[in-house]
Structure 1
């Protein structure tokens, strides 16, 4: 019986230590109020001087319909000037990471 009590106390201490370490890990990774997050801080340090001016090829007559920041990438949705396009930009590298041309499927009869 004494061994079971010792085991229960030992496992309780391990459980509390694990919860304490989990709480510390979450607390240390949480952004501090009033300071920019790590992602926006990294984006702010990537200035135009680091990679110069990026020329993004778009069809004539296109316009930006939507711009979304996804992680370390910027996604642009373009319309007009032909088919709709989605461009993925990498500001850290200063280049176009990729793109998609949205084309309609042929009608199935």
Structure 2
């Protein structure tokens, strides 16, 4: 006969673990009024994971990845809005992968907790 004993084990304590992931496809945007110059479409993958401690603290991490064109997110036309040339277009390339981690604390507001 085998004796079994089980109990609930909370690895992270009495809090909540949440997460989300998003895949976005951002289409081309016109850089001139006639649409002659357009930015390239690009994909973006974003994710966030958070652990909400029972004491009100939240520990989180998030990531954003641009697997395609990294110059299309921040692209500007500094020339004429009608007859701009490629030399009038400036971009600010995004990093291929950006990571962010943090710690926040929720202050009591008097509102009921969800």
* TM-score, scaled relative to structure 2: 0.26
Higher helix share: 1
Q: With a CA cutoff of 8 Å and minimum separation of 6, indicate the structure with the bigger relative contact order.
A: 2
Which protein is bigger by CA-based radius of gyration?
A: 1
Which is strand-richer, 1 or 2? 2
